[in-house]
Amino acid sequence: MSAATWPPVEHQLAQRAASARRRQAWRVYLGFGALLLGALVAAPLVGSTRLHLDSVLDRSTPFADNLDAQIFFIARLPRVLAAADVGATLAVAGVVMQALLRNPLATPFTLGVSAGSALGAMLAITLLPTWTAGGFTAVPLASLAGALGAVLIVYGLAQVRHRGFSTDVLLLAGVTLNAFFSALILLVQYLSDFTQTIRTLRWLMGDLDVGGYQPLLTALPLLLVAGGVFAWLARSLNVLALGAELAGTRGVPVLTVQRLAFFGASLATGVAVSLAGPIGFVGIIVPHLVRLLVGSDHRVVMPAAALFGGAFLIACDAVARTVIAPVELPVGVITSVIGAPFFLWLLVRKT
């Protein structure tokens, strides 16, 4: 039965197929990587003032006198990097949620993370409007806390009914929690004053204007850890898509994989939402588009979704900043306005 008993031709063909699959994966990584890199460089150039790359990179004028470079690096690049961060995170979290719940319609927000975040953010806006600590306002911290709260409640509920990890219970608990938190949000909004309501509404629309590099640097380690976890999960998520019990007989440590996928995706989503608010549609459109382009192998889909998600949100944000400049539209509006019709087209096209 050993491989050596195979005719050499067979062996050669297998070798060729194996390396073709690896090459194909690297082509995808590099292609989508180039796309993201292009978006990262091009997006800060557009806006109410158009910049040129050569004047931005002009070394003959010092940075303090180079207005274009200042706009590029101080005003716009943090925002573009935030878009890359948030877009990548939401897209990968979407892929993971869809695999975990075995449901292609799942999003990073399906299990109530965004509603929990929103409730936290809104309570902070209403109750602690001027509170700061170590350079942070209360809003991102409260939003992260809200996300954590939602994650723990959903997880607790999924554990009570089942000794394992019932995705059905997870899904139902998440949907119910979403509705419950939304009701609380409406209640608090009804009771709060006009400016607070406007601030909450703005937050809910999503805003990538993070104000500088500091929030990004704070979020980075968390997102990198999540990235490492996702990289390890990729091959297991492939088999998990066939069903949890079958995956178990194939050698997948199902419970560990499900827990890591659930907490990894939820917490990464919580971080992204606390950075920029609940930006919709990225987490469902990007995974589907990427699968359409590169197939369903999670080892290829997840990195591609991260890179493409970043580029996609950068592009949406560039549209939001320019379409009726100098007024900047909330990016969440753009992702949904582009995303919803596109998604419907995708649905119709498939059937």
* Shortest distance, position 13 Cβ to another protein, whole Å: 8
Nearest to another protein of 22, 52 (CB atom): 22
Beta bridge partners of 132: 137
Q: How far is CA 138 from CA 100, 122, 142, 212, in A?
A: 32, 10, 6, 17
Write down the H helix ranges in the chain: 8-42, 53-56, 67-70, 77-100, 113-127, 138-161, 167-191, 194-205, 214-240, 244-249, 254-276, 282-294, 298-322, 331-350
Nearest to another protein of 91, 99 (CB atom): 99
Write the single-letter amino acid at 273. V
Nearest to another protein of 50, 161 (CB atom): 161
CA gap 285, 346 in Å, rounded? 9
Nearest to another protein of 241, 319 (CB atom): 241
* Shortest distance, position 182 Cβ to another protein, whole Å: 27
Q: How far is CA 301 from CA 88, 96, 167, 304, 347, in A?
A: 12, 10, 22, 5, 20
Nearest to another protein of 143, 236 (CB atom): 236
* Shortest distance, position 237 Cβ to another protein, whole Å: 10
82 φ, ψ (degrees, to nearest 5): -60, -40
Nearest to another protein of 18, 198 (CB atom): 18
* Shortest distance, position 240 Cβ to another protein, whole Å: 9
* Shortest distance, position 242 Cβ to another protein, whole Å: 5
Please, are residues 109 and 269 in contact by the beta-carbon 8 Å criterion? yes
Nearest to another protein of 291, 321 (CB atom): 291
* Shortest distance, position 251 Cβ to another protein, whole Å: 3
Neighbours of 138 (CB within 10 A): 20
Please, are residues 291 and 309 in contact by the beta-carbon 8 Å criterion? no
Nearest to another protein of 154, 239 (CB atom): 239
* Shortest distance, position 235 Cβ to another protein, whole Å: 6
Task: List interacting residues with another protein (CB under 8 A).
Answer: 1-3, 6, 10-11, 13-15, 17-18, 21-22, 25, 98-99, 102-104, 231-232, 234-236, 238-239, 241-243, 245-246, 248-253, 291, 295-297, 299
Ramachandran bin of 30, using left for φ above 0, alpha for ψ from -120 to 50, beta for the remaining angles: alpha
* Shortest distance, position 159 Cβ to another protein, whole Å: 17
Tokens of 109: 């927000």
Whether residue 326 is preceded by a cis peptide bond, meaning omega within 30 degrees of 0, is: yes
Nearest to 123 by CA among 174, 178, 183, 184: 184
* Shortest distance, position 99 Cβ to another protein, whole Å: 8
Nearest to another protein of 13, 53 (CB atom): 13
CA gap 153, 131 in Å, rounded? 27
CA gap 57, 41 in Å, rounded? 11
